[in-house]
Amino acid sequence: MQQFDIAVIGGGLVGASFARAISGSGLRTVLIDKTPAAALYDAALDNRGLAIAYTTQQSLHHFKLWTGLSANSHSIAHVHVSEQGKFGFTKLSAQTCGLPALGYVISASHLGAA
Query: Which pLDDT does position 39 carry in this prediction?
Result: 76
Q: How confident is the model over 33-68, as pLDDT tens digits?
A: 998 877 777 766 677 899 999 999 999 999 888 998
Query: Which pLDDT does position 113 carry in this prediction?
Result: 80
pLDDT level of residue 7 (50, 70, 90 thresholds): very high
Q: For 33, how many CA atoms within 13 A lie in the half-sphere containing its CB?
A: 16
d(CA 20, CA 65): 10
What residues does 78 pair with on adjacent strands?
93
What residues does 75 pair with on adjacent strands?
104
pLDDT level of residue 30 (50, 70, 90 thresholds): very high
pLDDT at 114 over 90: no
pLDDT level of residue 20 (50, 70, 90 thresholds): confident
Please give the angle made by the CA atoms of 76, 78 and 81, to the nearest 5 degrees: 115
Dihedral, 57, 61, 63, 67 alpha carbons, nearest 10? 110
Query: Which pLDDT does position 16 carry in this prediction?
Result: 86
Q: How confident is the model over 64-95, as pLDDT tens digits?
A: 889 989 999 999 999 999 999 999 999 999 99
